[in-house]
Structure 1
Amino acid sequence: MRTFLIDDDNLGNYLTESLLRVEGFSSSIQTFESAENALEVLQQRPAELPEIIFLDLNMPVMNGWQFLDALAPYADVLRDHCHIYVLTSSLALSDLEKAKTYDLVTRLIHKPIDVEELRTIRAQLKDNG
Structure 2
Amino acid sequence: MINRAYIIDDDDISVFLTSMMLESHLFARTIESYVNVEDALYQLQHIPDENLPDVILLDLNMPVLNGWDFLETISQQESRFLGRCHVFILTSSVDPLEKQQATQYKLVNGFLRKPLDESSLAFITKAV
Shorter-chain TM-score: which interval?
over 0.9
Distance 1:33 1:46 in 2: 22
The code of the aligned residue for 1:2 comes to: R
Task: Name the structure 2 match of 1:3.
Answer: 5
Distance 1:103 1:119 in 2: 21
SS of 1:86 mapped into structure 2: strand
Question: After superposition, what is the alpha-carbon deviation per residue over 1:55-89, rounded to whole angstroms, capped at 9, x for unaligned?
Answer: 00000000000010011222001002010001111
Task: Name the structure 1 match of 2:125.
Answer: 122
4+ runs deviating over 4 angstroms:
none
Q: Quick check: which one's helix share is greater?
A: 1
Task: Name the structure 2 match of 1:106.
Answer: 109
Q: Contact (CA 8 Å) 2:109, 2:127: kept in 1 or not?
A: no
Displacement of 1:42: 0.1
Q: Contact (CA 8 Å) 2:81, 2:107: kept in 1 or not?
A: yes
The code of the aligned residue for 2:31 comes to: I
Task: Name the structure 1 match of 2:23.
Answer: 21
Question: After superposition, what is the alpha-carbon deviation per residue over 1:6-50, rounded to whole angstroms, capped at 9, x for unaligned?
Answer: 000001101100110000000000000001100000001133100
Distance 2:86 2:38 in 1: 19
CA root-mean-square deviation = 0.9
Normalised to the residue count of structure 1, the TM-score between the two structures is 0.93
- Aligned 1:1-129 pairs, distance under 5 A: 1-47=3-49, 48-125=51-128
Give the length in aligned residue pairs.
125
Unaligned runs of 5+ in 1: none
SS of 2:82 mapped into structure 1: helix
Normalised to the residue count of structure 2, the TM-score between the two structures is 0.94
Distance 2:116 2:100 in 1: 20
